[in-house]
Structure 1
Amino acid sequence: MHRILALLLSLLMLMAAPLVRAADSPRLQILNYHEIANKSEAQIPGYAVTPTNFVRQLDWLKNNGYRFVSVDDVLADRAGKKPLPDKAVLITFDDGYKNFYTQAYPILKMFNAPAVLALVGSWLEPASGLVAYGDKKVSRDVFLSWQEIREMRASGLVEVASHTHTLHEGVPANPQGNSQPAATARLYKNGHYETPAEQIRRVEADLKRNSDFLHRMSGQKPRVMVWPYGSYNRDVAEAAARQGMPITFTLDDGPNTLNTPLWKLRRLLMENTTSLADLARELKVRESLKPVSERPGKIMHVDIDYLFDKDPAQTERNIGLLLDRISAMGVNTVYLQAFSDPDGNGAADEAYFPNRHLPLRADLFNRVSWQIKTRTPVKAVYAWMPMLAFELPKNDPAAKDVVVTRPHAATGHVSMGYPRLSPFSPRARKVIREIYEDLGRSAQFEGLLFHDDVTLSDYEDASPEALAAYRRWGLPGDIEAIRNDDDLLGRWTILKINELDNFAKELSDVVRRTHPALKTARNLYASVVLNPRSEVWYAQSLDNSLANYDYTAIMAMPYMENAADPAKFMRDLFDNVAERPGALDKTVFELQATDWRNNQPVPSEEMADTIRNLYRWGARHVGYYPDNPFKDHPKPAVLKGAFSAMTQP
């Protein structure tokens, strides 16, 4: 009887105990508004939410169980003192427009909804007259008065945050004169880039100036930093923390959980066209923890080598042609070459961004990436880079630290045709890390695509550093001895796969210093998916790839694989991916646009049919390579219709 009573008591206590949410469960939604105004009265009509729609949105949130919270509530939750309510929402406003006081503030009071108000010091510094606002001047009366700011702050409902003093603008960021966000771009002036140290000193001085200014004028020293244009990186976030602002807001996609650092809290941008249905759908996506990688990718894979011309004017015309094709094709993602391979051997001889180790062919990656992001509907640009396939200048000490292939007949096996640096050489790894670090500092982009060189055959690597690594793994320091024992061969393959994937993660982390929201993708050979034995030949694995990268871009290229039946090849490839739970959400089927056996184009109609088939079977992400703008192949008029068969969820 006592045991039964004890069991019942335990069950009652369990039922009464509050549910503890996992650290990665959705914890907080943050909405980002700008103006509450009719479009005709707004400074930026696209970001202006009408007063009526603002009321409807807050009312919808309240009626659907969302609870408005403050920065103090967020900090109490993080400190473990008081958990946030379910479906917590924090409301933020950028820029400090007058209509925040006249239109938003009365509604916030009615709903008892706290708000964070991010202020640009240079727009508020003059008491009257005109203010430099982007490329124009506007009346100081467009913005809040200090009396209004102090009144709202005193209410306890509005928290003042910093939106920088003079960094809400663009600065020249490349030789072509592209204007990019001042907080994260390296200023290009008088033929030179500022150094990373100079950039951080410039940004931190501005943050300090604005923090001191807001403290003096409002009576509150800001503890929240809101990045203009949502553009930030780890370096500027650390500068903000040094100036007393450890909390920073971005415009990154995704939910905020206990695992989301306070220095990169994500916000949902509210626009003039945001309907209640849009709001409900977006919140549901974020609450489901659905990553960006699950949203359909329509991908064009682009060679800058095609665009480069010794005549800069012709290069610009070529870029313009590409931009027109991207818009006409209906893609939303571009894999963009950041290296140069003029001899066509698959390895990087030069780079399209300034760096410490490779010759600069032309400072073009920043230019092309920015033009794509600002002049086409594309949502994400991925920097396409080798991981190992670099041909360094001969005077670089690491140039000799190459992958060594043991002599073999190659019958039934894979011989990698391009030179690579050894991943087992500390000297080579350091050089590659520095190249990636320079890439990260050179341009605005959203992801990395690792080239198909993330591979080692079953006769590689036989360099001295590699053989020493095998001995540390408990294997013989001799490839032939390993290959003659199936157990050792299997173990060696798994360890090589992990070594390559770990190095990819190491390089990704280097770039995340300047691109904290970075996504990763890697090319994978189709035979790895179709034939388990080929994992040994390539040191690649679909399962490992799905676990270690946001996307796996399988080279779904039947002609490259000499498939007897291309249609069956594609169906078998899809079925092998689909049998893995969740794999389709993270897999790109990358089609070939050229039959390299005869250098003839694969017909656009055939490519379109394949895309439609993949979508019909259940594929979510489809791309193609290469795009040839000069031969108009593939034809946008044909492929756009196929791509449009997949819509955003």
Structure 2
Amino acid sequence: MPSRRQFICGCMGALAGCSLFPSLAPAKLIDILPPADPADGLTFRAICFHDVRDNLRAEFNTNNVIDPYAIDTGTLTSIFSWLETNQYHCVPFSAVLASRTGGKPLPPRAVLLTFDDGFRSHHEKVLPLLKQFKYPAVMGIVTSWVDTPADQGVRLSDTLVVPRDTFMSWAEVHDVAQSGLVELACHTHDLHHGAVANPQGNELPAATSHLYLADQGRYETDAEFQSRVQADLGSCIRQVKDRTGFAVRAMVWPYGAQNKAVRSVSTGLGMQTQFTLESGPNTRDVPLDRMRRILATYDIDVGGLERSMREPAENRGEVHPVERAVVVSLDDVYDASPDVQEKKLGDLIERIYHLRPSSVYLQAFSDPTRSGFAQAVYFPNRHLPVRADLFSRAAWQLNTRADVAVYAWMPVLAFAAPENLNGRVEFVAAAGGATLPPGASAVRRLSPFDPAARELVRDLYEDLGKHSSFTGVLFGEDAMLSDFEDAGHHALDTYARWNLPRNIEQIRADPALAKHWGDMKTRYLIDFTKELERIVLDSQNSGEVLTVRTIFPDVVLDPESGRRYAQNYADFVHAYDFVGLLAMPSRQGITSVDSWLDKLSTRAREVPDGARRTVFLLEATDARTTTAIPTERIAEQMRHLRQTGMVSYGYYPDDFAHNVPDAVALRDVMSMRSRLDPSSINALLSANSASGARR
């Protein structure tokens, strides 16, 4: 699944405020050369093209519909000329491979050209240009499309069939391979399409998703999934070899979607070099099996290409500088009636589309009482009840139809567990016999120090990533430990390894020990969430996983109080893409809200990167009265935050069923996109839907 940034490149944001094909005169930029990437002999940029058509603007003017991933022949010619004029070196795939295996270094400003899907235009239009400029390229071939008989259409999905001559014949594939300029790559045999991945019939990328076998009422096993992918890629490799005589050495993943399991399959078949659709340079630290590529879309011009060639690697916060987040509970979407549930999901998507935030923080677990405790989840897994297999469908629909990034909101410790798993957080009794010590959470949590509990949480995050596609993870506020907890025996064993007494009261009585204890627990929970992030990344159907860690406002304002929660604001800013500041005054009994927000903003600006990475999560419901906060008051708080230099904010919870907060009234302060004419939006969404299977 392409990242949010890639969807924006090909969707509605591309039309705002610009002509369809600005002038492509290379001379304008001759004297503005982008800074060179490291001249280390290993770094290069790759560009991904799809179909190439004459007079693409005329197609748009005639039909008001355009394939956002096709480019005009004249545009491609201008790009080639610009690369030549601006001293880029287009290199063959063999040079990239040699540079990574101890051979000849790449030249400075190296570029690899790639063309996906095996369009007939690659033979008719691209190959002559490659010969004219003497440029080598990689072409990814979908062999089932080439196999289609001449008198039949090529079926790209259940609803989309294109003429057979959209794609090359085997004779044409052989011709481009014989040119001496083209390296053929595997783009799968028959996995370049969506496949049913849940009981609701939602389609996800076939190459990376466990299929839902409706006739058997179950999902593919891991073994079945890997066997299917291996058989398909093996078939592609064999056919290319048999038909052209050339051995395939590279894998191009459809939609850029890949994960650890399929990368392993590809490597085992001899295709260690694998291409995604993540942008940025391929520096020495980018592994061969996750090569980045710039995705060229229909509106690309020299200016856009020049910016892309300057773009750094997608480091945290650099490509995602601003968050405007809406927190949504799937408990509000779920309904026992499939028809009612589908209607609710449609209403949510329509609301988010018109509200136009950057992200939705989507609750992946069931918690009807809003306690923060996961009694069940909304995705297939090994341990907890599945209330409905709803998360993957909702996340995919929000991303592709509402054009927002989706973060899976998950607890870290607050999960129900089997009766035989006793590894829960324990606390020491407070003075006076209080049931709950001051600062301790009333939410039941698994102990992060208990190996069995940690394994259960790891499994849940792995299952979430395996069965869903999403942009990031929001770690819930349950990831805390007060200075009265954890007192379980696994925790005490850990404290002993930290050179602390096996007695919490003794630790609390000594300020130096208490400080060390709080700092170590803070780091321990950060390390655990980073481990969960890596698990999701390995099992995900996309190339990136961003992270948000929630934090209490007390911790932001007073670092000393942070040790009582095992949280640290500065450490969170450094460790995560964003910090979700729970700026909910009614929880704190705050009445002077603006001055309180000012204090939080001041503190954020004092911490390096704090202002850039902190997302103020404002309350949309008063925690004391359960009444809705007036929409204008929420908007005023957002404007006030902007005046203090805070750029990222959102609200919780969203009551989409009752339009609370009011979407129209809030859109001006929440929207991340320019307004477009509705007919243009609908046309482009239709084109994106039609062409999505072809990328």
Fold-level similarity (TM above 0.5): yes
Query: Which residue of structure 2 lines up, in the alignment, with residue 602 of structure 1?
Result: 629
Q: CA deviation at 1:382?
A: 1.1
SS class of match (2:551): strand
**Residue 330, structure 1, aligned to residue 356, structure 2:** yes
Note if 1:56 corresponds to 2:78.
yes
Q: Report the equivalent of 1:538.
A: 565
**1:238-269: CA deviation from partner (whole Å, max 9, x where unpaired):** 10111111111111244322111111112221
Task: Give the deviation of 1:93 after TM superposition.
Answer: 0.6
Q: Is the 8 A contact 1:294 1:620 kept in 2?
A: no
| 1:172 maps to 2:188 | no
How far has the Cα of 1:341 moved from its partner?
1.3
**Cross-structure match for 1:527:** 554
Q: Which residue of 1 aligns with 2:222?
A: 196
Match of 1:467 in 2: 492
Residue deviations 1:194-242, cap 9 Å, x none?
1111011001100000000001111111111111111111101110111
1:450·1:521 contact (CA, 8 Å) conserved in 2? yes
1:646 shift after superposition: 8.3
Is 1:355 matched up with 2:371?
no
In the TM superposition, what whole-angstrom CA distance separates every residue of 1:442-482 from its partner, at most 9, and x where no partner exists? 21112111111111011110111111111111100001100
Asked whether the 8 Å contact 1:123–1:131 carries over to 2, the reply is: no
CA contact (8 A) 2:37 2:43 kept: no
C-alpha contact 2:446 2:453 (8 A) present in aligned 1: yes
**Partner residue of 2:463?**
438
Q: CA contact under 8 A between 2:317 and 2:613: conserved in structure 1?
A: no
CA deviation map 1:31-78 (0-9, x unaligned): 111011044679972211001111122222333343222222222332
Q: Once the 2 structures are TM-superposed, how far is the Cα of residue 559 of structure 1 from its aligned partner?
A: 2.6
Aligned to 1:84: 106
Counterpart of 1:503 in structure 2 is 528
Show the counterpart of 2:415.
390
Measured in 2, the distance between the counterparts of 1:168 and 1:20 equals: 33
Of 172, 183, 206, 1:159 maps to: 183
Q: What's 1:4 paired with?
A: none
Cα RMSD after superposing both structures? 2.4
* C-alpha distance in 1 between matches for 2:146 and 2:160: 16
TM-score by length of 1: 0.91
How far did residue 611 of structure 1 move? 2.0
Give the whole-Å Cα distance in 1 for the aligned partners of 2:153 and 2:501. Answer: 72
Tell which has more relative contact order, 1 or 2 (C-alpha 8 A, sep 6+).
2
| 1:20/1:368 CA distance change after superposition, 3 Å | closer
* 1:300/1:627 contact within 8 Å kept: yes
| 1:374 has 2:400 as partner | yes
Q: Distance in 2 between matches of 1:646 and 1:362?
A: 32
Runs of 4+ off more than 4 Å? 19-23, 40-44, 287-293, 409-413, 645-648
Which one of the candidate residues 227, 240, 244 is aligned to 2:270?
244
Counterpart residue identity of residue 405, structure 1: F
Give how far 1:602 is off: 1.8
Cα 1:645–1:234, aligned 2, differ >3 Å: closer, same or farther? closer
Mapped to 2, the partners of 1:297 and 1:211 lie a distance apart of: 43
Shift of 1:21: 4.2
**Native 8 Å contact 2:42 2:96 kept in 1:** no
Higher mean C-alpha deviation, range 511-520 or range 217-226: 511-520
For the residue of structure 1 that corresponds to 2:521, the secondary structure is: helix
Describe the SS at the equivalent of 2:586.
coil
Could you say what secondary structure the match of 1:448 adopts? Answer: strand
**Structure-2 separation of matches of 1:58 and 1:618:** 42
Task: Indicate yes or no: 2:242 matched with 1:216.
Answer: yes
1:288-336 Cα offsets, whole Å, 9 max, x none, are: 9675554322211110011112222211111111111101111121111
Distance 1:139 1:629 in 2: 42
What is the SS of the residue equivalent to 1:510? helix
Deviation (angstroms), 1:412: 10
Give unmatched runs, 5+ long, in structure 2.
1-35, 676-695
After TM superposition, give the deviation of residue 420 of structure 1 in Å: 0.3
SS at match of 1:555: strand
- TM-score, normalising length: structure 2: 0.86
Q: Read off the aligned partner of 1:432 and give its amino acid letter.
A: V
Alignment match, 1:94: 116
* Distance change in 2, residues 1:479/1:646 (3 Å): farther
Cα deviation, 1:354-377, whole Å, max 9, x if unaligned, reads 111111111111121122122212
Larger mean CA deviation between 258-267 and 340-349 belongs to 340-349
Give runs of aligned pairs for residues 16-415 of structure 1, distance below 5 A: 21=38, 27-37=43-53, 38-39=55-56, 45-126=67-148, 128-134=150-156, 135-189=159-213, 190=215, 191-286=217-312, 291=317, 294-378=320-404, 380-394=405-419, 397-398=420-421, 400-408=422-430, 413-415=438-440
Question: How far apart, CA to CA, are the structure 2 residues paired with 1:385 and 1:72?
Answer: 44
1-structure distance, mates of 2:401, 2:595: 39
Residues 357 and 435 in structure 1, CA contact (< 8 A), matched pair in contact too: yes
Once the two structures are overlaid, the 10-residue window that deviates more, 616-625 or 596-605, is: 616-625
8 Å CA contact 2:324–2:672 kept in 1: the answer is no
What is the one-letter code of the residue matched to 1:187? L
Is the 8 Å Cα contact of residues 293 and 550 (structure 1) preserved in structure 2? no
The alignment status of 1:614 with 2:641, answered yes or no, reads yes
Q: Is the 8 A contact 2:42 2:105 kept in 1?
A: no
Q: CA deviation at 1:100?
A: 1.1
How far, CA to CA, are the matches of 1:45 and 1:100 in structure 2? 16
Q: 1:479 aligns with which of 480, 501, 504?
A: 504
Read off the aligned partner of 2:238 and give its amino acid letter: D
Tell me if 1:585 matches 2:612.
yes
CA distance in 2, matches of 1:643, 1:72: 48
Task: Determine the C-alpha separation between the residues in 1 that align with 2:298 and 2:379.
Answer: 37
Does the aligned pair in 2 maintain the 1:293–1:585 contact within 8 Å?
Answer: no
Moved more, 115-124 or 581-590: 581-590
Residues 371-421 of structure 1: per-residue CA shift (max 9 Å, x gap)? 21222121x211111010012243xx22x2110121225899412121100
Given the alignment, which residue of 547, 559, 577 partners 1:550? 577
When residues 328 and 534 of structure 1 are mapped into structure 2, their CA distance, relative to the original with a 3 A threshold, is: same
Question: Structure 1 residues 239, 468: CA separation in 2 closer, same or farther (over 3 Å shift)?
Answer: same
**Structure 1: which 5+ residue stretches go unaligned?**
1-18
Per the alignment, in what secondary structure is the counterpart of residue 357 of structure 1?
A: coil
Cα distance 1:645–1:127, how it changes in 2: closer, same or farther (>3 A)? closer
| Pair 1:627 & 2:648 matched | no
Q: Judging changes above 3 Å, is the alpha-carbon distance between structure 1 residues 203 and 339 closer, same or farther for their aligned structure 2 residues? A: same
* Aligned position for 2:3: none
